[in-house]
Amino acid sequence: MDLGIAGRVAVVAAGSRGLGLATARALAADGVDLVVAARGEASLAEAAAQLRAEGAAVVTEVADMADPATPDRLVALAGERFGRLDIVVANAGGPPPGRALDVTDGDLAGAFEANFLASVRLVRAAAPVLRAGGWGRMCCITSYSVVQPVPTLALSNTARTALWAWAKTAAQDLAREGSGITLNLACPGPHATDRMRELGGAGVMGDPSDFGKVVAFLCSQPAAFVNGAAVVVDGGATLAL
């Protein structure tokens, strides 16, 4: 399928490893130029080298997505280096595990900063640029916990579900504007990533490269009428209807 996004420019947050890197690779395979951000300088350089070896045009930025100044900086960088911005993938590493009654106020504040506010800020920063271009795709990578909470991931369950509620509302606003911009969520279940290994994941897991292709589709031209959706990619792990 021709995704119709060759020549577009994307910002991919937390794109040096795992599902973020898989998404960057999938977008690049369809001809998208990339601004890739991550906190780790070494892992970011390694990811950029891999993407360039596969033929991608990549600009990197060492950045903490929890820093309120980061989204504006990434949007500006896309304009400076590529002259445009069309696609935004908001992503951040998951918060530590914990039971709901055990997490502290500080734990909750940290999770909301990284897994709610960081994505909201990036969407808000990019929206005026996408409106000016008359076309845009924004996708937030969250978790299957937005449709079925995971007992040991109280922080993720809470912050990511808040993001789902916000994004659903914002997507309606974009649709009413007739802006040509969509906003969706991609909600992975267990995939073979470092994050899942740290959480002690076992059993059948998804291939990160397959997940990246799902995000690339949500950011494509044929997905123009997919808006405000939470696309769960979990191999059937959740039972929620």
pLDDT in tens, 168-183: 999 999 999 999 999 9
pLDDT at position 207 over 80: yes
Q: Average model confidence (pLDDT) for the chain? A: 94
Distances (CA, A) of 198 to 24, 94, 96, 190: 22, 11, 10, 12
Radius of gyration of the chain (CA): 17
Residues shown for the chain: 241
> Which residue ranges make up each domain of the chain?
9-233
Choice among 139-143, 168-172, 205-209 with the minimum mean pLDDT: 205-209
Give the whole-angstrom CA distance, residue 230 versus residue 44.
28
As given in the structure block, the two tokens for residue 198 are: 């740290």
pLDDT of 201 over the 70 cut: no
Backbone region of residue 159 per phi and psi (left: phi > 0; alpha: psi in -120 to 50; beta: other values) = alpha
pLDDT in tens, 122-140: 999 999 999 999 999 999 9
For the domain 9-233, what is the CATH code? 3.40.50.720
What is the model's pTM? 0.95
> Average pLDDT, stretch 5-33?
97
What does the block give as tokens for 185?
């969520």
> CA angle, corner 83, sides to 77 and 86, nearest 5?
85
* Mean pLDDT (whole number) for 154-177: 97
Q: Which segment of 18-22, 71-75, 199-203 scores lowest on mean pLDDT? A: 199-203
Residue 103 DSSP label? -
The more confidently predicted of residues 96 and 199 is: 96
